């Protein structure tokens, strides 16, 4: 009878295996996906590349806007998009061009969800309801003194009325491009993603845009689908998915009806607009943080983790295919909310050096300003816009018609739709997968990311 191996050898094998696992994790995740010197021998992953004789690819353009609860959060994104829109108008020669003309999909959470809905809701002319400049003007002119974002722009008692007046009877189906807006559903204990694609397939997922905006920025609200068959007990999207970039990328890469040619991150152009972060860098804690402070810290931490994981998924192409605009410690927390002061401070944030999050290492200051990064990305967007016009032509309205408009038939869903949290895994969008999970704790998210890599 063969004797079993000594226990000490088994322990050694387990320790060796654990060491190898954590070495791979360390080299691929903690210290940068594309630092080849840190990979173990034979563990360097291969990245598929297009051959030189292949025809030039078309890239899906994604806009993602973070959620937040202060007026600086929405105004930074609105100001950045207004600047981007102006640049694109100048370069395209179209004085009526809008942000929605240069993006194929938009995602927004919290205040960002309201802004995304404003920019991608269909207006009477068939174009988007608001330009970025108009959206910025609306958000900035109604700010009251010493109030937060929706306390100032739409105070809690009149916010619902304001949203209904803004969007009237428009629903998710009325978005000019695919639109994604998250909230947290207390009924299922998981994030819920309002999606135009789902609304097109099944009326029970079609919600009024006014209700969608309420759900993503309200403390607690009940919303129902247009046909009243689906009820969501919603809490603000900033809690569930403060940075919706990963959700937007996953949606595009797995939505072959609307994006049949998107096969990987190399086929994407992503601009992610972060919120204005709270003042940081204190040397000592004078006053314990409030519950609101703790929630915001957790939300910003999760947003940074998503940013870093997405950047690593893009690998070497992140400098051309992925850009993150993030303001550092905004002075708006201490400033009055007069419109003139707000306009000056948003310009100041655009002139700040761009801040990149480095996982578990804090912040890294870029050598370029937020405005310079936006100008560079405007160049990439115009290249893509011109490439489509050259290779595919335009329709009668002058819009580029490269991506086909799918004829989606409404289907009857018998089995209840899975919530995001109930899914065992989320389809990967490269060697590093970004899971979509509720922002319960920072460590819970990191744990899911680690398990997805291994």
Which residues participate in catalysis according to the annotation? 109
Nearest to 225 by CA among 199, 206, 198, 201: 206
Environment class of 363 (CB within 10 Å of its CB; exposed 0-12, middle 13-18, buried 19+): middle
Between the alpha carbon of residue 164 and those of residues 169, 254, 454, the distances in Å are: 7, 32, 46
Q: Could you tell me which residues are beta bridge partners of residue 268? A: 60
The alpha carbon torsion through 258, 134, 340, 324 (nearest 10 deg) reads: 10
- Find where tokens 């609307």 sit: 258
User: What distance in Å separates the CA atoms of residue 435 and residue 426, rounded to the nearest whole number?
Assistant: 6
Alpha carbons 41 and 424: distance in angstroms, whole number: 31
332 is written with which tokens? 């708006």
First-last CA distance in the chain: 37
Sequential DSSP letters for 150-192: HHHSS-TTTHHHHHHHHHTT-BGGGBSS-EEEEEEETTTTEEE
């Amino acid at each position: 009878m063969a004797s079993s191996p000594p226990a000490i050898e088994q322990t050694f094998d387990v320790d060796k295996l654990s060491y190898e696992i954590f070495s791979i994790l360390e080299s691929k995740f903690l210290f940068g996906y594309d630092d080849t010197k840190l990979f173990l021998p034979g563990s360097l992953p291969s990245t598929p590349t297009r051959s030189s004789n292949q025809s030039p690819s078309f890239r899906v353009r994604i806009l993602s806007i973070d959620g937040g609860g202060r007026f600086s959060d929405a105004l930074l994104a609105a100001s950045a998009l207004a600047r981007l829109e102006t640049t694109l108008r100048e370069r395209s020669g179209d004085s009526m061009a809008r942000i929605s003309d240069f993006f194929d999909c938009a995602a927004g959470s919290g205040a960002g969800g309201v802004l995304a809905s404003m920019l991608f809701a269909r207006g009477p002319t068939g174009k988007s309801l608001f330009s970025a400049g108009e959206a910025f003007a609306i958000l900035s002119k109604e700010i009251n003194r010493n109030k937060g974002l929706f306390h100032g722009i739409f105070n809690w008692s009149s916010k619902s009325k304001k949203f209904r007046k803004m969007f009237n009877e428009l629903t998710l189906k009325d978005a000019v491009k695919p639109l994604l807006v998250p909230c947290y559903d207390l009924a299922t204990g998981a994030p819920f993603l309002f999606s135009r694609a789902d609304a097109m397939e099944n009326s029970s997922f079609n919600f009024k845009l006014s209700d969608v905006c309420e759900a993503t920025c309200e403390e607690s609200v009940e919303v129902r689908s247009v046909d009243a068959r689906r009820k969501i007990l919603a809490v603000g999207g900033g809690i569930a998915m403060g940075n919706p970039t990963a959700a937007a990328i996953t949606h595009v890469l797995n939505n072959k009806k609307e994006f049949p040619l998107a096969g990987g991150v190399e086929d994407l152009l992503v601009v992610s607009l972060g919120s204005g972060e709270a003042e940081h860098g204190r040397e000592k804690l004078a006053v314990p943080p409030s519950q609101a402070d703790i929630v915001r810290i957790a939300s910003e931490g999760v947003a940074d983790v998503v940013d870093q994981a997405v950047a690593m998924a893009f690998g070497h192409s992140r400098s051309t295919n992925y850009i993150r605009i993030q303001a550092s410690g905004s002075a708006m927390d201490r400033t009055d909310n007069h419109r003139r002061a707000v306009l000056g401070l948003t310009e100041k944030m655009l002139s700040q050096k761009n801040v990149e999050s480095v996982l578990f290492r804090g912040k890294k200051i870029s050598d370029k300003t937020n405005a310079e990064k936006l100008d560079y990305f405007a160049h990439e967007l115009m290249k893509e816009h011109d490439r489509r016009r050259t290779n595919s032509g335009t329709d009668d309205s002058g819009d580029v018609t490269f991506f086909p408009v799918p004829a989606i038939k409404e289907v009857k869903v018998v089995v209840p739709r899975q919530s995001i949290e109930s899914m065992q895994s989320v389809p990967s969008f490269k060697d590093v997968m970004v899971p979509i999970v509720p922002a319960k704790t920072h460590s819970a998210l990191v744990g899911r990311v680690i398990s997805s890599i291994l």
